């Protein structure tokens, strides 16, 4: 349990500079960071701090995961498609249609250690931002596995990041418009049971949750963009507010976080309004990302 843990402004440092809309971050065991960046596709930040912008995708690159060959699977919510980005910045279409229809507002790509890929779509609306202004339950989740692509969750309020828990029992889904985290049990065939809310509903009135990430103890870390907050949802569902940036000069619409470093206790936070990554030390290690594990 993390009861009593909180962050102070002095606990934060920064990494990177000149980033644009760094919504999602991938960390490698080598110390390299890959950050979504709408000036191109991604920015690569080396362990020595050197950085380079890769790609010419444009739009709004956001949620992403590292594939088995080291390429990046990336959602682009403005282009409404999922792409594969090579390490030289070149990109190709990865996925853009389901059941004969365009996917809609592509938001996030997640991979798990059971060789499954989860794609979240925030809304089917042509103007997906309308689904942030009122309750329009048309967000959904696509599963890609050996059985092929299929919709496994639907009727969500602006689906954002999705994560499988440490034991592979549940898929956790950030519903941004709902200000809450939902979860559904994963059946043996990859289909999902009936969704249920995990934790407060909403986490507070008017909240817009965005990024979620598990640590090694099973706590779910959550970013919230309207008040620049970081929460931890503990395994019993209790919500712990660990930081709020009322000034907005450390966290600006925080959208994602990732655990990094040799001990997986260095946490990087990206945000829609940030030009650099915020950084702090966590009291518990993160769960190793799937691309750190043997294929």
**Which tens digits make up the pLDDT trace of 176-196?**
999 999 999 999 999 999 999
With respect to residue 1, please indicate whether it lies within any of the assigned structural domains.
no
What rounded mean pLDDT belongs to the chain? 97
Does residue 286 carry a pLDDT above 50? yes
Which helix or strand (DSSP H or E) is residue 130 part of? helix 130-133
Going from the C-alpha of 230 to that of each of 18, 109, 167, 253, 261, the distances in angstroms are: 23, 21, 24, 11, 20
With respect to residue 209, please indicate whether it lies within any of the assigned structural domains.
yes
Residue 290 backbone phi and psi in degrees, to 5: -60, -30
Q: What is the pTM of this model?
A: 0.97
Domains in the chain, number: 1
- CATH number of the domain within which 198 lies: 2.120.10.30
DSSP state of 245: -
Does residue 1 carry a pLDDT above 70? no
Give pLDDT tens digits for 248-264: 999 999 999 999 999 99
Structure tokens at 77: 């919510």
Give pLDDT tens digits for 89-130: 999 999 999 999 999 999 999 999 999 999 999 999 999 999
Q: Please tell me the predicted confidence (pLDDT) of residue 294.
A: 59
* Residue 293 pLDDT grade (very low, low, confident, very high; cuts 50, 70, 90): confident
With respect to residue 40, please indicate whether it lies within any of the assigned structural domains.
yes
CA distance 287 to 85: 24
Please check whether residue 191 is in contact with residue 147, taking contact to mean a CB–CB distance below 8 angstroms: no
- Four-residue CA torsion sign, 178, 211, 71, 215: negative
Provide the domain limits for residue 174: 13-287
With respect to residue 5, please indicate whether it lies within any of the assigned structural domains.
no
Q: What is the mean pLDDT of residues 16-27?
A: 98
Angle at 93 between CA 91 and CA 99, to 5 degrees: 165
With respect to residue 88, please indicate whether it lies within any of the assigned structural domains.
yes
User: What percent of the chain clears pLDDT 70, i.e. is strictly above it?
Assistant: 99
Q: What is the mean pLDDT of residues 135-143?
A: 98
User: What percent of the chain clears pLDDT 90, i.e. is strictly above it?
Assistant: 98
With respect to residue 294, please indicate whether it lies within any of the assigned structural domains.
no
With respect to residue 2, please indicate whether it lies within any of the assigned structural domains.
no
Q: What is the mean pLDDT of residues 9-21?
A: 98
């Amino acid at each position: 349990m993390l009861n009593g843990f909180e962050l102070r402004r002095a606990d934060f440092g920064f990494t990177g500079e000149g980033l644009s809309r760094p919504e999602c971050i991938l960390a490698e065991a080598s110390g390299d960071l890959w950050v979504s960046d709408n000036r191109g596709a991604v920015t690569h930040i080396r362990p020595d701090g050197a950085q380079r912008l890769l790609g010419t995708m444009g739009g709004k690159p956001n949620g992403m995961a590292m594939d088995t060959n080291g390429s990046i699977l990336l959602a682009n919510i403005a282009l409404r498609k999922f792409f594969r980005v090579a390490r030289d910045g070149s990109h190709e279409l990865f996925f853009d249609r389901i059941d004969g229809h365009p996917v809609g507002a592509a938001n996030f790509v997640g991979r798990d250690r059971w060789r499954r890929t989860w794609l979240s779509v925030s809304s089917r609306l042509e103007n997906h931002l309308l689904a942030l202004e009122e309750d329009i339950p048309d967000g959904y989740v696509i599963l890609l596995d050996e059985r092929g692509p299929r919709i496994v969750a639907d009727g969500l309020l602006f689906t954002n990041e999705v994560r499988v828990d440490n034991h592979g029992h549940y898929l956790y889904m950030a519903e941004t418009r709902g200000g809450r985290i939902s979860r559904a049990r994963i059946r043996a065939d990859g289909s999902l049971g009936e969704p249920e809310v995990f934790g407060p509903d909403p986490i507070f009135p008017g909240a817009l949750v965005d990024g979620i990430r598990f640590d090694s103890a099973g706590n779910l870390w959550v970013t919230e963009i309207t008040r620049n907050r970081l929460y931890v949802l503990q395994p019993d569902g209790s919500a712990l507010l660990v930081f709020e940036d009322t000034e907005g000069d450390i966290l600006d619409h925080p959208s994602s976080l990732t655990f990094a470093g040799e001990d997986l206790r260095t946490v990087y936070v990206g945000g829609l309004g940030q030009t650099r990554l915020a950084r702090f030390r966590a009291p518990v290690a993160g769960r190793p990302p799937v691309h750190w594990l043997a294929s």
